[in-house]
């Protein structure tokens, strides 16, 4: 569910007409719904019933400082994968006592920063990393809390580039080596064992991989609780969101009309499947959702530059490019594209929806049916709240887009559009070239 819908002919986010946002702040601009994020957070908590659950929002999905503050206010901790993300959480005014630090390549500086900032635990991905954490903690005169990330060798049945729980992926300790890794960790003087963790992939659309992986991890967690008195089990994130017919998915009737076998995963179905496995452990349960929390809570607004009629092909050329929304070029991902002002009297056209970047890969959709649109009109890319701005770049020397947060009938600019002067501020022409 989300809070984007047409009111009359105009597309709204909550009670805000998105055409007003485009007019005030220009395009490309990301727009996020605070109400949708809050709903998603509460559904994750409630979906796992009476378990002792804590949400650690995966910052990599959307790291806007305002978004982080919103989740902190709701009670979330954070799942971090870099020192930059850690600094963003601090800049948002949130502490790290309920946050965890993951990632396969933690530097010494990042480990030191996390320890000095009071991180709850490191999710350790290799034994060499454990050695480094112990070394840094020793120099600081503290004990570092850790959990190993376990690779359960389970196929998440998702895109190859977002599948992280197979034996041939770079992530985590093989489950067969887990007991030995924990036994070794117990011998380090500056390490304190706190839990066990996994994350098998992103955008999962089937419950079965979650169940298979959780059953494997739960069996290990029971053993670790007896041997090392662990406090928590983290089952990661990965719940998929709706991309196809994303606008329609905001209505409850849409859900009722879906065949049961093809209905998307929900926090309720996720919780119903996993809670019976987790409850007997008597451990705190951490979940680390990212995409689910923000994906359907955001759209990207873009303006039509041209409708180009080619030989047997129409091209709807927008001012947003692959640098603004990378997912279609990187993953061949689908995003529903809808007009900000719907006009049912206009004919539909079939067109490739493309951007201005000098790359053939700068294509958001091929042979997509859409209302005929002309120069200066606007569209919205649905389900763009996750891995949109965070993966954006300055390719072709294009400035980074703006970001706006909606709350009810109000909206605020939370990240101003980058200027050219901002872009080149750190560059310099050396004296020998002058």
For residue range 295-320, list pLDDT tens digits in order.
999 999 999 999 999 888 999 999 99
pLDDT of residue 254: 54
- Evaluated on CA atoms 260, 261, 267, 271, the torsion sign reads positive
Listed residue (402, 400, 398, 314) closest to 363, CA to CA: 314
Mean pLDDT of 418-432: 97
How confident is the model over 241-273, as pLDDT tens digits?
A: 989 888 988 865 555 566 555 567 899 999 999
328 close to 359: Cβ distance less than 8 angstroms: no
Strands (E), 215-358: 232-234, 284-287, 298-309, 314-318, 337-339, 348-354
Listed residue (197, 191, 194) closest to 133, CA to CA: 191
Annotated binding site: 238, 288-291, 327, 331, 359, 387
Mean pLDDT of 214-228: 96
CA distance 374 to 316: 9
Q: Check whether 164 has a pLDDT greater than 70.
A: no
pLDDT of residue 158: 56
How confident is the model over 65-105, as pLDDT tens digits?
A: 999 999 999 999 999 999 999 999 999 999 999 999 999 99
Class of domain 34-290: alpha beta
Strand 16-17 relative to strand 10-13, pairing: antiparallel
Backbone angles phi, psi at 25, to 5 degrees: -110, 0
121 — pLDDT class (breaks 50, 70, 90): very high
CA distance 368 to 349: 8
The residues spanned by each domain of the chain are: 34-290, 296-424
pLDDT of residue 260: 57
Distances (CA, A) of 405 to 299, 303, 341: 11, 19, 20
Dihedral angle over CA of 425, 111, 147, 267, nearest 10? -20
Q: Check whether 292 has a pLDDT greater than 50.
A: yes
Peptide bond preceding 28: is omega within 30 degrees of 0, i.e. cis?
Answer: yes
CA distance 370 to 372: 6
In total, the chain counts a number of residues equal to 434
Distances (CA, A) of 81 to 40, 105, 291: 22, 9, 15
Strand 402-407 relative to strand 410-415, pairing: antiparallel
CA distance 231 to 414: 37
DSSP state of 71: H
156 — pLDDT class (breaks 50, 70, 90): low
Distances (CA, A) of 182 to 16, 222, 353, 383: 52, 13, 51, 40
121 close to 194: Cβ distance less than 8 angstroms: yes
CA distance 386 to 397: 23
pLDDT of residue 163: 47
For residue 416, what are the contacts with CB-CB under 8 A and spacing of at least 6? 402
CA distance 96 to 85: 11
Listed residue (349, 294, 300) closest to 322, CA to CA: 300
The pair of three-digit structure tokens given for residue 57, joined into one six-digit string:
């929002």
pTM: 0.94
CA distance 241 to 296: 7
For residue 289, what are the contacts with CB-CB under 8 A and spacing of at least 6? 40, 44, 55, 57, 58, 237, 238, 239
- Look over the chain and give the mean of its residue pLDDT values, rounded to a whole number: 93
The pair of three-digit structure tokens given for residue 69, joined into one six-digit string:
């503050």
Catalytic one of 13, 56, 358, 363: 358
200 close to 213: Cβ distance less than 8 angstroms: yes
- Evaluated on CA atoms 122, 123, 129, 130, the torsion sign reads positive
Say whether 358 is catalytic: yes
| Burial (CB count <10 Å: 0-12, 13-18, 19+), residue 203 | buried
pLDDT of residue 256: 57
| Range list of H helices, 165-281 | 178-185, 207-228, 252-257, 267-278
pLDDT of residue 1: 76
Annotated binding site for substrate: 291, 327, 331, 359, 387
CA distance 3 to 20: 17
pLDDT of residue 42: 97
Annotated binding site for pyridoxal 5'-phosphate: 238, 288-291, 387
CA distance 122 to 398: 36
Q: Check whether 159 has a pLDDT greater than 80.
A: no
Dihedral angle over CA of 291, 296, 302, 307, nearest 10? 110
115 close to 142: Cβ distance less than 8 angstroms: yes
Backbone angles phi, psi at 61, to 5 degrees: -70, -40
Higher-pLDDT residue of 167 and 78 is 78
The pair of three-digit structure tokens given for residue 427, joined into one six-digit string:
């560059």
Class of domain 296-424: mainly beta
Query: The tokens 């309920």 sit on which residue?
Result: 98
């Amino acid at each position: 569910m989300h809070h984007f819908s047409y009111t009359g002919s105009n597309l709204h986010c909550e009670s805000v007409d998105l055409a007003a946002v485009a007019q005030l702040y220009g395009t490309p601009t990301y727009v996020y719904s605070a109400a949708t994020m809050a709903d998603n957070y509460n559904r994750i908590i409630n979906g796992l019933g009476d378990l002792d659950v804590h949400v650690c929002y995966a910052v990599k999905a959307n790291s806007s400082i305002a978004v982080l503050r919103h989740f902190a206010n709701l009670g979330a901790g954070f799942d971090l994968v870099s020192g930059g993300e850690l600094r963003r959480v601090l800049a948002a005014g949130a502490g790290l006592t309920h946050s965890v630090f993951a990632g396969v390549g933690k530097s010494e500086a990042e480990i030191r920063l996390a320890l000095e900032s009071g991180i709850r635990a490191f999710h350790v991905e290799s034994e060499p990393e454990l050695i480094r954490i112990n070394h840094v903690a020793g120099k600081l005169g503290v004990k570092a809390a850790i959990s190993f990330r376990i690779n359960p060798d389970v196929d998440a049945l998702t895109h190859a580039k977002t599948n992280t729980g197979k034996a041939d992926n770079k992530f985590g300790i093989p489950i067969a080596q887990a007991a030995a890794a924990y036994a070794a960790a117990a011998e380090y003087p500056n390490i304190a064992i706190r839990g066990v963790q996994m994350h098998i992939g992103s955008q999962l659309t089937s419950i079965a991989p979650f169940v298979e992986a959780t059953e494997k991890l739960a069996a290990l967690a029971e053993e670790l609780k007896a041997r090392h008195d662990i406090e928590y089990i983290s089952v990661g994130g990965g719940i998929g969101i709706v991309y196809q017919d994303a606008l329609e998915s905001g209505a409850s009737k849409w859900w009722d009309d879906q065949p049961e076998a093809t209905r998307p995963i929900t926090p309720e179905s996720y919780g119903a499947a996993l809670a019976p496995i987790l409850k007997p452990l008597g451990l705190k349960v951490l979940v680390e959702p990212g995409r689910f929390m923000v994906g359907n809570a955001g759209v990207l607004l873009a303006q039509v530059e041209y409708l180009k009629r080619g030989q047997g092909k129409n091209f709807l050329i927008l001012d947003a490019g692959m640098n603004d929304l990378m997912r279609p070029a990187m993953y061949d991902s689908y995003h529903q594209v809808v007009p900000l002002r719907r006009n049912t009297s206009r004919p539909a056209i079939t067109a490739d929806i493309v951007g201005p970047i000098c790359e053939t890969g700068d294509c958001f959709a091929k042979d997509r049916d859409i209302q005929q649109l002309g120069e200066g009109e606007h569209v919205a890319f649905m389900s763009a709240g996750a891995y949109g701005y965070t993966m954006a770049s300055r390719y072709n020397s294009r400035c980074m887009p703006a970001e706006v947060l909606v709350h009810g009938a109000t909206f605020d600019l939370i990240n101003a559009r980058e200027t050219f002067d901002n872009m080149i501020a750190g560059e310099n022409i050396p004296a020998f070239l002058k």
